[in-house]
Structure 1
Amino acid sequence: MLLKFAYALKRSLTSYHHQSQESSRFSMGIARRSIETLMFLLFLSSNVLADASTTTKFTFLGFRGNQTEIQTEQAATIQETDGLLRLTNRDHNVTGTAFYRKPIRLRDGSSNKLCSFSTSFVFVIIPSSPGNGGFGFTFTLSPTPNRPGAESAQYLGLLNRSNNGNSSNHVFAVEFDTVQGFKDGDDRRGNHVGLDFNNLSSAVQEPVIYHDTDDRKEDFQLESGEPIQAHLDYDGPTDSLNVTVYPTRIGFKPETPMISRQVLNLSQIVTKEEVYVGFTSATGKGQSSAHYVMGWSFASSCGESPVSSWLNVSLLPRSPPNVSSKKGYDSPVVALIASLSIVTLFLLALLFVFVMYKRRIEEGEALEDWEIDYPHRFNYKDLYLATKRFKESEIIGSGGFGVVYRGNLPSLGPVAVKKITQTSQQGFREFVAEIESLGRLSHKNLVNLQGWCKHKKDLLLVYDYIPNGSLDSLLCAKPRRNGVVLTWEERFEIIKGVASGLLYLHEEWEQVVIHRDVKASNVLVDAEMNAKLGDFGLARLYERGTLTQTTKVVGTLGYMAPELTRNGKGSTASDVFAFGVLLLEIVCGRRPTNTENFFLADWVMDFHTNGGVLRAVDQKLGSSFNGREAKLALVVGLLCCHQKPTARPTMRKVIRYLNGDEDLPEIDGNLGFSDSSRDHLRANVVCNVSSDIASSSTTFSFSTEVSTGSLGNGR
């Protein structure tokens, strides 16, 4: 309109010049210069207006009176009482969205590149009860100012099960998730921030932390009920996004962002010139939180990098209360509570005096003369304090014969302390002799017995602390301790490590040691993934050339050699059988037996007979294993599981087979079983092994169940 007016003014003056010949040339010159100046100013004004159209900036210090600026739907609302933007309350399975009502231009029309933007907001998440909150909220770029059809719970009011992952969504979101993420594994925890591109399976996901200094991180909880500030800065020319989240109580914005990534695929999300910016949120079934936004600033520009306003918390509305208000009690009730409190405190004081007196008695110990003569003896008080007075939180394992505590001795560092209660089935002197003998075993693939301690009816065994726990937990526990499947290289080294430990027990120590309980839960794995055989509670020691005298059936169902059900006499061959089952378990990732007459050796033998033995390899490994080594290990395992003890290889031959120093012999197609003998064996095993002895033990479960054999009979 201004340009039209200028041109009209010029035409009028020109007409006036032709009609009025009396006007001076000087006056017309002034008029022409005035018109040119006016048009130049109009040109500059039009450029400024064009630049302004590519820039957006707003700041909400609270939302009272801004209902026309914010479009809320579902559970979201602007609270008139305090001016907070509440996305959801604590109702279950609800969603809420709140978007800036006007579209934001985020693509430069001339260069077709994404514009830079920056936003900052302060939020509060209050769970319905401690540890029972959910599910979180998102800051979102959306083609629409709402999210129709979006679902609750893990969909966060942003997408639903049918459109999640579709490229047609054109949504980008930064999720603030307080429970397990969408389709995350069992080992993934909540309380994280993620970047979502058309999909709630986050492309980038980080636990919630802020950088206190350049080299120190501090974690905190999103659903703490305290105000938390978030900054998102996207630089269009470099496609880089920085996300910084921190509690407002620290009083400053950390210099190092929590997430700093190049997001090249953001340009594929924002395909139109204009988008809507806002928040989505949701609660779930049985898990819910109230989600609030206290203040919000946003800035975008297709020219210079925008900077959104840093929100001063003191200028924002008061944060919502973290707990429900409680009604005061009447005076009589207060008096009754006070009286009961005084009585309770008095009783607690008496209980404290009694406990301290009892503890002082327990910490003391009188030494007998004979105890001084045996090595590796620890003072009970030292072990008592090392385990924090045998505190329940220090328990790292338990079994049928005792409990294992984590301890820390000044002289040794971390240790595992097994607390065993003596039974009437074994004399004390025989047990002391066993401690003395086993305490002299020393091999890199055996758990090292550091020492022992006797206190009243308790016997304490002190072992090296093994951080990775048992092989059984690494193979079968869900979720896995380290979150990944054991690699083939680690499995093969564990197999050779256990074999080396058994060779030492059978042939290389001064006496023959029969372990009698080789199984996955009795193999521990250290920090370097080295195998260490432990739990010698059922072990027997013999002089070389003597015969075993034990006749009681002991062991664990699935690992027991068939001859044990007939004569109960353990031998090195029965250890070899158990090792063979363990070897197959490591390679196949399956337990040796179950309640449906499944035997692992039979299962693997069927594959071998049909020429496809590698099909028995643990499917969790996929194709990531050495086929030659896997086939070698499976065949060695089958050889060790032969029914006839004399047909099984010694541990020395096993190691030669595994190292490739000796060729493998042919395998009996039925492992020495006839169909009738196999069925008879299964029946005998089920009938003769008690559930207590056959049950799997946990880490460091050193059982004391032994027969009546003694040292004099060749223990």
Structure 2
Amino acid sequence: MAAHHDVWQITIELLKKKIPILLQMDRKLSLLLVVCLLTGISATKYDEFTYNGFQRSELYLDGVAEITPNGLLILTNTTRNQQGHAFHKVPLHFKNTSEGNIYSFSTCFVFAILPEHPDVSGHGLAFVLSPTRGLPGAMPNQYLGLFNSANNGNSSNHVLAVELDTISNPEFGDIDSNHVGIDVNGLRSTDAAPASYFVEKIDKFKKLSLISGEPMQVWVDYSNPEKKLNVTISPISVPKPSHPLLSSFVNLSSVILETMYIGFSSSTGSILTSHYVLGWSFKMNGQAAALNLSSLPSLPLKKHRRNLSSLIIWLSLGVVVFITITACSIAYIIRRKARYAEVLEEWELENRTHRFSYKELFKATKGFPEKNLLGVGGFGRVYKGELPTSKTEIAVKRISHDSKQGMREFVGEIASNSQLRHRNLVQLLGYSRRKGEVLLVYEFMTNGSLDKFLYDANNPTTLGWSQRLKIIRGVASGLLYLHEEWEQIVVHRDIKASNVLLDSEMNGKLGDFGLSTLYDHGSDPQITRVVGTFGYIAPELTKTGRATTSTDVFAFGVFVLEVVCGRRPIVQQDSQDLHLVDWVWKSWRNGVILEVTDARLGGDYHLGEVEMILKIGLLCSHPVPAARPTMRQVMQFLNGDLSLPQMPKGGRGITISSPEHAEELEES
């Protein structure tokens, strides 16, 4: 009603100012002209628009979306697990009522994604056509504020979206963590490509980083006669490229309804990220008008980390202060420098990992006091902290690293690990370095490590079966990503319950990549040093020292049995070491496999699921590497897409706890 009232006011003004003669005409003729004028204005107003910046009255907003005083549309701000929507207030007619044909359409918009930390982002944003405004029931995080776990992929959604996705979600078949995709009724894209734009001079596509914080322009053009949807993207300073990034044949006849709302949707996860739209134009049956780039609202200033040039300026000012201040002040400054002194070498600038200042982490943890200590491991002490500016909760691990020769490789692996993005991996946010110490900064996990729930007698919370199964699935998904789905193979080398952390929703995330190593797909890992935790180390490691994805699978198998049984991998019994894998395997041979389940479960579980998970644990911890499944096969077992192989109950001669005899397998 408000939209029609606006049109009526415009009509009255035109009648008064532009066509005063109408007031003297016959009443019926005047009314006819008014209707004609109203129809013309409606078509012009609703079928074509251009926003070089926005006003609150022009859009329907919900969630955390807002418009700044200078006309900048903020879809999501620096809050976790939120979503925001911004839709054109009036629905548009996308179909010819009489013939049922979809109209061709074109849109152009400028967006920017500003993460709190470089190379770490929320989940992205999408241009969307929807039957309703606001998308009720939609969820944040990986669902981009478009769908939820129940309706994702349903044909009844009638939603078309072009996603600018900055997180790799394997469950949706994402190609990487920096891509553009076409989504029809769900988040499994019908077509997708890494974010890039075509450059005429070199006759090929050049990569773009969606989370660079720089404004970029997107064109979405649909031709109904050809049934073709083109998506083109470029930096704001580059005119529309001649080649679209995506050119996909999509028949939208069953997707688009007669009237649809158009707008934008975005969401955040655990990483603080702001998603912006600076300008937007749209036209039905024609080319959307070009935006006036010079009049678009400005983005907030980015918080750049201190670089080498600013460090030089700071040191220069320090020299001036040294000359002019008193001896007492000099002594004070020297003491402060000693406290916050860092090591920064030129080669570190080659890594794209975010580097925190030691001073920043010192203040975030309030000086690393014992009361902020989260835990102590063989590779360092972990402290809880909060970044002063963003209020982001973090976990800081302090590691001694005295080897100058290996420091460059160590920081290089930190840089690689910080680019790992998966919902079941603890996100490495960055690092700091001073003297012989490296400080790793991770996202803070509210519920701490899994082993506290399995073994801490003072912990009142008992994990139920559904929670344990969810954690096992999550860790398996994270390992599949490390082994097969990232650009390099990552061997974790220290999978265990204490390295699985739980967020506020009890989702399991694999953390502590201090021992991990990387190598290229198709290459042979050259690792000859045995590292890890006793009880999780594969038998062949003691012979060859070669850590592979198969040795990770072995440790995962022990971890699975640990979660189901609620027992550590090695326990003392009658002055002897009792190995968990031996014990479970013996129970399997004796036909009492379900007796190994954690007594705290109280029998409250699905018998078939428990038996399946225990079999997966035994299969993964098989003493012969060739008999173990890959993590992809493990996920297929868990999802019911692949049947478990027959496991003979005879199994004589298998001695898991004696590596020197581990491969002596007798026939059943």
Which of the five TM-score ranges fits, normalised by the shorter chain?
0.3 to 0.5
TM-score (norm 1): 0.44
TM-score, L = length of structure 2:
0.46
Structure of higher CA gyration radius: 1
